[in-house]
Amino acid sequence: MKSTTSTSSNRPGLNDLSKVELSGAVLMKMRFAQLLNAGSTAWQARKVAELRDVLAIEQIGGPIKVLAADLSGDLKITVEMRMPVPRRPTEESGLRLGDHAVLGLLYTFEATRQPQPGTSFVYILDPGDVWHPNVSSGNLPVQVLCLGPSVPAGFPLKHILLLTYASLTMMAAQFDDLDPAGVLNREAAQWWQRNAHLLPLSREPFLKTTQARKVAT
């Protein structure tokens, strides 16, 4: 008897996160965060919905792990995102790649009502030397990721995470160092223009909606 490998598309995608049942440690993170939820009824509900989507991504094996969540005011979530992360080159070893980044996500009430600057949502807590045209230089305590000139009102966090993953893996990035809309590190932009053969750092999708299975033949 032989076995072959086929694929089935039964893993949830971004549009299916509301159907994902939280369980175990992930469910406990949700319940603990809700204890300190504050604000209007509508704002509390929105924060819970946004956090639940983020936790659902972790639940189904996405590339993130929620480290902390605060619903007491603005929605603040700290996540570890697993992916290749470009770090500032050195003379000895050239470009270095980390295997994850720790991100601080900020989602304000104002973000639900009106467009926000693209630098308002994602803060890179670690590593402190990300080498990316759309990330502020490592001279500051926290690096900021720019998602574009502006982010539409009500743009959900699950899509912000998708954009962050695509940007940091260099699948989608702004390299025009003369365009102030997205470039925060001109030196890095010029370096990547000269080293475009290294792109992208990964071709792995943010969420795998298919999985392999063995079939006996």
pLDDT digits (tens, 9 = 90+) for 49-100: 999 999 999 999 999 999 999 999 999 999 999 999 999 999 998 999 999 9
Kindly list the distances between the CA atom of residue 121 and the CA atoms of 3, 153, 209, in Å, as whole numbers in the listed order: 47, 12, 26
Is the CB of residue 175 less than 8 Å from the CB of residue 188? no
Q: What is the dihedral of CA 151, 153, 159, 165, to 10 degrees?
A: 20
Q: Mean pLDDT, to the nearest integer, of 16-24?
A: 97
Band (pLDDT 50/70/90 cuts) for residue 215 is very low
Nearest to 152 by CA among 143, 144, 163: 163
pLDDT given at position 182: 77
Is 99:85 a contact under the CB 8 Å cutoff? Answer: yes
Question: Cβ(30)–Cβ(17) under 8 Å?
Answer: no
Residues 163-179 have pLDDT tens digits of 999 999 999 988 887 77
Residue 8 has pLDDT above 60, yes or no: no
Angle CA(159)–CA(119)–CA(72) in degrees, nearest 5? 70
Nearest Cα to Cα of residue 55 among 43, 44, 46, 64: 64
**What is the rounded average pLDDT of the residues 24-35?**
98
Compute the average pLDDT of residues 126-132.
Answer: 96
